[in-house]
């Protein structure tokens, strides 16, 4: 065997042979792309629309740059972030448990509040059990990354969130995307490829956050059954938003709980907290709880993060009028926008309504102009979406008023005619 090369020896990796661009962060392709984007924004006279800093709680209104603005850029769908009862739950929890559980739950990080939150989530879905992770993104990465492996197949909607894509890559399984919401395209992939693979999982979302549209769940359930695949639904944006009582896509379509094998969701939107969950049968949840790396090798959720989500979930059940109010104001936004002739794509008018502008520069310019006039709405630019569907994306909350919607659309209409 060869001895390890000494420092500086001609090993093929000694410092003299490595081009400088490979050692500098400012030569990294990501940094170069960022610099180009900043330069383009500067030439157009736009301020950077990203990392806008909210100085307090972000609800239907928010304080940014010392000004109160109407806010359509946060996912506080049921207005629970900032609710005094939810705040109090966090305060009580931090006082009782301290600010960190200081270890993975499997060693010494377990606290009663974890089990209470997981029970409440499982009961809401009417499934055996649930497990919560400290991040929504990590939930998808770890779940897909752990459950699937080489020899398996992951089929996903082309608009699936980055966290599911990263999980799919990590798993080592084959990954194939199908056209957005196109169950026929999925079926075609299954016909062609199902026999060559062992486990197959189909990954879709309950409500797509770029477009505000949803999948035909009964159709996907029927297909997955026929092809003996698992179905995973990411409810980050549908939980608390769809269904008469906010129970999500399942309630919207009235399918039985076991129709979906893996229910995934986040605590960061409707549930006024942070983290993600998987809900399903006991064997699934036990496996993840004991083996999924993002759970096992990561600290348990802090109690003051778990407690507000538990409280928000209880309040969602006690106050379903919040869900109905969110649904009504979202529909109102959609109808008024369409009446003005705006392109709202396929949005069904549930919490997420895009206004498609068709050019990144124009969408960024409009976001800037609206912000100057007291409205905070995020532009979604290429490459996050194709250039021709660059857009402004409006997130509604049950706390938005019709007057705020009217004022916003009037200003948007004026700015659209001006630019
Ligand atoms: N899934 C979807 C569909 C999302 O939109 C997001 C983030 N917005 C996540 C997962 C990740 O969740 P979190 O931000 O709570 O980590």
pLDDT score for 13: 60
Q: Measure the CA–CA gap between 166 and 171, rounded to whole angstroms.
A: 9
Count of helices and strands (H, E) across the chain:
14, 13
| pTM: predicted TM-score of the whole model, two decimal places | 0.94
Structure tokens, 234: 């990411």
Computed on alpha carbons and rounded to an integer, the radius of gyration of the chain in Å comes to 23
Q: Which domains does the chain show, CATH number per domain?
A: 42-71+320-418 (3.90.1150.10), 84-318 (3.40.640.10)
Structure tokens, 161: 């969130």
To the nearest 10°, the Cα dihedral for 47, 53, 55, 61? Answer: 70
Atom 16 (ligand 1) nearest CA:
136
- Would you list the DSSP string of 95-141? HHH-S---S-IIIII--HHHHHHHHHHHHHHTSSEEEEES-HHHHHH
Residues whose CB is less than 8 angstroms from the CB of residue 59 and which lie 6 or more positions away in sequence, other chains included: 71, 74, 76, 79, 81, 82, 397, 399
pLDDT score for 50: 79
Coil, strand or helix: which one is 182? coil
Structure tokens, 409: 């659309």
Cα→Cα distances 128→232, 249, 282, Å: 16, 18, 5
pLDDT score for 5: 47
Q: Which pLDDT tens digits describe the chain residue by residue (419 residues)?
A: 444 544 444 445 665 799 999 999 999 999 999 998 888 888 878 777 778 899 999 999 999 999 999 999 999 999 999 999 999 999 999 999 999 999 999 999 999 999 999 999 999 999 999 999 999 999 999 999 999 999 999 999 999 999 999 999 999 999 999 999 999 999 999 999 999 999 999 999 999 999 999 999 999 999 999 999 999 999 999 999 999 999 999 999 999 999 999 999 999 999 999 999 999 999 999 999 999 999 999 999 999 999 999 999 999 999 999 999 999 999 999 999 999 999 999 999 999 999 999 999 999 999 999 999 999 999 999 888 899 999 999 999 999 999 999 999 999 999 999 87
- Residues near ligand 1 (Cβ within 6 A): 135-137, 140, 161, 163, 205, 209, 234, 236-237, 266, 268, 276
> Quick check: 158 and 132 in contact, CB under 8 A?
no
Q: How far is the CA of 233 from the centre of ligand 1 (A)?
A: 12
Beta strand pairing call for 67-71 and 153-157: unpaired
Atom 15 (ligand 1) nearest CA:
136
Angle of helix 282-291 relative to helix 136-147, nearest 10 degrees, comes to 100
SS (HEC) of 227-282: CCCEEEEECCCCCCCCCCCCCCHHHHHCCCHHHCCEEEEECCCCCCCCCEEEEECH
From 73, 137, 143, 269, the mutation candidate for ligand 1 (largest count of ligand atoms within 8 A of CB) is 137
Q: How far is the CA of 37 from the centre of ligand 1 (A)?
A: 24
How many other β-carbons are positioned within 10 Å of the β-carbon of residue 26? 9
How many other β-carbons are positioned within 10 Å of the β-carbon of residue 53? 7
Structure tokens, 350: 């549930």
Q: Measure the CA–CA gap between 147 and 167, rounded to whole angstroms.
A: 10
Beta strand pairing call for 153-157 and 200-205: parallel
């Amino acid at each position: 065997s060869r001895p390890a090369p000494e420092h500086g020896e001609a090993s093929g990796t000694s410092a003299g042979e490595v081009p400088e661009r490979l050692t500098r962060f400012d030569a990294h392709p990501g940094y170069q792309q960022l610099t180009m984007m900043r330069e383009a924004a500067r030439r157009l006279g736009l301020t950077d629309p990203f990392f806008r800093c909210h100085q307090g709680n972000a609800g239907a209104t928010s304080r940014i740059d010392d000004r109160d603005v109407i806010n359509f850029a946060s996912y506080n769908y049921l207005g629970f972030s900032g609710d005094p009862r939810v705040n109090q739950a966090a305060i009580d929890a931090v006082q009782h448990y301290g600010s960190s559980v200081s270890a993975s739950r499997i060693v010494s990080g377990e606290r009663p509040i974890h089990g209470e939150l997981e029970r409440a989530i499982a009961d809401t879905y009417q499934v055996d059990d649930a497990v919560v992770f400290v991040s929504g993104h990590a939930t998808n990465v770890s779940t897909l990354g752990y459950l699937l492996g080489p020899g398996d197949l992951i089929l996903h909607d082309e608009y699936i969130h980055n966290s599911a894509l990263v999980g799919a890559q990590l798993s080592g399984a084959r990954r194939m995307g199908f056209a957005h919401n196109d169950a026929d395209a999925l079926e075609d992939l299954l016909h062609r490829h199902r026999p060559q693979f062992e486990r197959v999982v189909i990954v879709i979302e309950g409500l797509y956050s770029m477009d505000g549209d949803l999948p035909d769940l009964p159709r996907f359930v029927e297909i997955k059954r026929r092809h003996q695949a698992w179905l995973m639904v990411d409810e980050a944006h549908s939980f608390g938003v769809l269904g008469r009582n906010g129970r999500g896509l399942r309630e919207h379509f009235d399918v039985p709980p076991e129709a979906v094998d893996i229910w995934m969701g986040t605590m960061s939107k409707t549930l006024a907290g942070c983290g993600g969950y998987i809900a399903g049968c006991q064997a699934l949840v036990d496996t993840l709880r004991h083996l999924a790396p993002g759970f096992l090798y990561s600290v348990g959720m802090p109690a003051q993060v778990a407690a507000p989500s538990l409280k928000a979930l209880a309040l969602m059940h006690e106050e379903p009028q919040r869900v109905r109010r969110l649904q009504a104001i979202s529909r109102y936004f959609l109808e008024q926008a369409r009446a003005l002739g705006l392109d709202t794509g396929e949005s069904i008018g549930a919490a997420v309504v895009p206004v498609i502008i068709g050019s990144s520069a124009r969408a960024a310019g409009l976001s800037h102009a609206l912000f100057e006039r007291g409205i905070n709405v995020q532009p979604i630019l290429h490459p996050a979406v194709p250039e021709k569907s660059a857009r402004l994306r409006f997130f509604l909350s049950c706390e938005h008023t019709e007057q705020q919607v009217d004022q916003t659309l009037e200003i948007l209409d004026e700015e659209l005619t001006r630019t």
